[in-house]
Amino acid sequence: MKDKEATLILPDGRRLDGRRPGEIRDIKIKVGILENADGSAYVEQGNTKIYAAVYGPREVHPRHLALPNKAIIRCRYHMAPFSVEERKSPAPSRREIELSKVIREALTPAIFVEQFPFTTIDVFVEVINADGSTRCASIIAASLALASAGIPMRDLVAACSVGKINGVLVLDVTDVEDKYGEVDMPFAMMPGKGEITLFQLDGVLTLEEAEEAIKMASKACMEIYEKEKSALKAKYIEARKAVEEVV
């Protein structure tokens, strides 16, 4: 399909946006920004910008979907029409439906669903601007929104993608690297537990490369995990500081 390989790694070993292969983009996280939702989060990873809102546990409608032994989790991943270069139809595409499922399954192992039988936990993920690794950023945002809603969880979920471009394994792929690179491997885990909750691979990796890629992704997830934790605590620590200053 591709007649000529695109240059994605510059001669000095840096990528097009100046990062080294093992570097992730800067992450900005805000928690609890949407007033109407029970829990919410905003994640900005380079130019990828995502909002997540969580409602619940609440009554299930339609009622026949409710389960007698646990809460159901419903997830909607949606890209805003203006989130990509060419207008995207707002109707859910095949890809969005698949990502909704994948994100839901990446989050489910972290939630104590059996504590809320007959209820639903609804997760809404809205991509405002897309620049690669949106499903990983979505998982980060959704996991923080769940935690900020006070839903009991085993651990936070962190996610990061690994790509292979010009034969080099790189972390946190951008849109261009995804389109013109050889491999995109989204990866999510509960870092505190060491359990992998999402593992996909688009492209071909050798066994050695795959092992190396998992190692890189786990390390990046640890780094993101720490940022998630401090973002969750930020609001309360600020309030504490404000009071201490008065005293």
Partner 1 sequence: MPIYVKDWDIVVPGDLLAEGDYTAGPYVYKEDNKLYSTTIGIVEQRKGTIRVVPLQGPYIPKVGDIVIGVVVDISPTAYVVDINSSYKAILQASEVVPPKRNVLAEDLTKYLDVGDVIVCKVMRFDKYSDVLLTCKGKDLGKIEGGRLVKITPAKIPRLIGRKGSMVNLIKKETGCKMVIGQNGYIWIKGKDKKLEALAEKAIRKVEREAHMSGLTQRVQNMLQSERGS
Which spans of this chain sit near partner 1 (rule: CB under 8 A)?
38-39, 56-59, 68, 110, 112, 116-119, 147-156, 190-193, 228-229, 232-233, 236-237, 239-240, 243
Identify which of residues 106 and 183 has a Cβ nearer to partner 1 in the complex. 106
Nearest distance from C-beta of residue 58 to partner 1, angstroms:
5
Nearest distance from C-beta of residue 236 to partner 1, angstroms:
5
Identify which of residues 44 and 228 has a Cβ nearer to partner 1 in the complex. 228
Amino acid at 71: A
Query: Contact 165/8 with Cβ under 8 angstroms?
Result: yes
Identify which of residues 14 and 193 has a Cβ nearer to partner 1 in the complex. 193
Nearest distance from C-beta of residue 54 to partner 1, angstroms:
11
CA distance between the termini of the chain: 68
Identify which of residues 59 and 202 has a Cβ nearer to partner 1 in the complex. 59
Nearest distance from C-beta of residue 115 to partner 1, angstroms:
8
Identify which of residues 20 and 240 has a Cβ nearer to partner 1 in the complex. 240
Identify which of residues 153 and 214 has a Cβ nearer to partner 1 in the complex. 153
Nearest distance from C-beta of residue 232 to partner 1, angstroms:
5
Nearest distance from C-beta of residue 247 to partner 1, angstroms:
8
